[in-house]
Amino acid sequence: MKASPDCFAICEVRLYDGTGNPPVPADVVVKDGRIAAVEPPRKLNLTGTEKISGSGLSLAPGFVDVHSHSDRSLIKAPGADSKITQGITTEVVGNCGSSAFWTKPEDIHETLTETGLKGHWKDLQTYAAAVEEAHPAVNVGALCGHNTLRELVTGNVDRALTSSEMQQMKELLRESLEQGALGFSSGLIYFPGKYSDTDEVKELASVLRGSSKPYVTHMRSEGNQVLEALEEAFEIARSGSGKLQVSHIKATGPNNWGKAKTMAARIEEEQRNGLQIKADRYPYIFSHTSLLVSVPEPFNRIDGLTLQKQLQSSPERREELLQTMIKKGCIRGDWDNVICMNNDPQYRHFYGKPIETVAEALGLSVAELYVKFLTDYPRGGSAAYKTMLEENLHFFLSHDWCTPGTDASAIPMDGSMGLCHPRGFGTFPAFYQIAKKYAPVESVIRRMTSDPARFFNIFDRGLVKAGLAADLVLFDEETLSGQATLDNPTALSQGIAKVFVNGHLAYSAEEPSWRSYHGKFLKVKN
């Protein structure tokens, strides 16, 4: 594979321009990183221009992943294999309340030592410089996270903020937005966001007022209190800019499956009332988070690192956890919903297997395995939870306000940074496969491209239009499909032929590991 020239044409494609208009045959000329012309085939004089044949293929704007956790992984592994191989050219990081800037210096130091980067960062501006120094293959923009701000200002404490702490957090958020952050995110099941009440988040979100930057939330509940949590999200968005992105929308657990219709109805009612609302979703029915989130009270009120220290130093504390697990069980349904996704090489062969199978193989009870994992790993390591309903997945994806989001960080395809949930490699093609059952392909493509780009005020991308940045995906719409599964989580998607970022070929299915590095850090000023 060789680098593309500064000027080239992709010829005779079926063009989905991202507006939602039906496809048209076209030649697209790219020059100096931008789309120079879009015309019907053979209308342009392309003598002397290098041509890439798009015959039999479709061309769309690069896909926009609004729910990424590549904050640090893009710096460590800038090739972004898991993302670019599914057609993603832009990632929004800083989701679920957690951003890489405004973190403690020791956390940053760890990333720097691992990568050998010379720069250091503190705020969004210096973080952006570090990302650019790493030369990622994809573009990246960042949200400012509530948990990160709270952790920096007050530490991990279960109490309300003092007014001076609130002022400090608002100031940091304001500064981040001025420096180009795309919005404000919360993760209200995580620490220390879990300790906040609605008023706290509303007051912080008020910094967004007057801008068109969204409040993006991993809601306080996606299970028994999901309807209340959605109302809370509306209320917070109203005190902000009136724009809300619901992260990985779902209703978990059989008791709550029936609530999906009410959720959708409430979203649409609030849209009619004037809120701008979108929701993202990965097209799978199991989640991916820590083992800690399925541990009963009071253990799930303690942040994972503190709990780990307690368990490591006290046999009595371990016994207490064991007895609690035996008595109360998993708070995310039955044990057979829990899947081991521990990335430690010694457990890698159990990746994707039910936790019961792992416990049995190790000669432990499930409760004993929980105690072991929570003692040995921060937050107990990764786990997946099969708590969603297939029918609801289809229901959410059938709505025009639902866009894809991987909820994953970019990782290499060789497994050198561990494995991940299949969503890491397969989300966009798998989303396409389901969503096109309910809507024309052109609307599905719009939801993967210009809708999220516009929602996050990235107006230079998301469309195939002369003058805009040349982020493009050449694909086969018949075979486009996600191939990653729990058994083979790094399987590459099918049907993505070529991906271009800022006018440069960045991925080709002919040589999947070949890469070029032309991603930019995207800042939004408004």
**What does the binding site for Zn ion look like in residue numbers (CB under 5 A)?**
96, 218
Q: Which is nearer to Zn ion, 218 or 421 (by Cβ)?
A: 218
Query: 22: part of which helix (H) or strand (E)?
Result: none
For residue 258, the minimal CB distance to Zn ion (Å) is 23
Q: Which is nearer to Zn ion, 70 or 310 (by Cβ)?
A: 70
Structural tokens at position 369: 């395995």
| 3-state helix, strand and coil shares in percent for the chain, rounded to the nearest 5 | 35, 20, 45
250: exposed, middle or buried (Cβ count in 10 Å: 0-12, 13-18, 19+): buried
Structural tokens at position 519: 């991603």
For residue 421, the minimal CB distance to Zn ion (Å) is 12
How do strand 243-246 and strand 215-218 relate by DSSP bridges? parallel
Q: Which is nearer to Zn ion, 218 or 379 (by Cβ)?
A: 218
Q: Which is nearer to Zn ion, 184 or 475 (by Cβ)?
A: 184
For residue 33, the minimal CB distance to Zn ion (Å) is 33
Q: Which is nearer to Zn ion, 59 or 96 (by Cβ)?
A: 96
The three-class DSSP label of residue 126 is helix
Backbone phi, psi, residue 387, to 5°: -125, 5
Backbone phi, psi, residue 432, to 5°: -55, -45
Structural tokens at position 447: 């939801």
For residue 474, the minimal CB distance to Zn ion (Å) is 31
503: exposed, middle or buried (Cβ count in 10 Å: 0-12, 13-18, 19+): buried
Q: Which is nearer to Zn ion, 427 or 502 (by Cβ)?
A: 427
For residue 131, the minimal CB distance to Zn ion (Å) is 21
- What b/e string do you get for 38-56 counting C-beta neighbours within 10 Å, with b at 16 or more? beeeeebebeebeebebee
Q: Which is nearer to Zn ion, 96 or 302 (by Cβ)?
A: 96
For residue 248, the minimal CB distance to Zn ion (Å) is 6
For residue 96, the minimal CB distance to Zn ion (Å) is 4
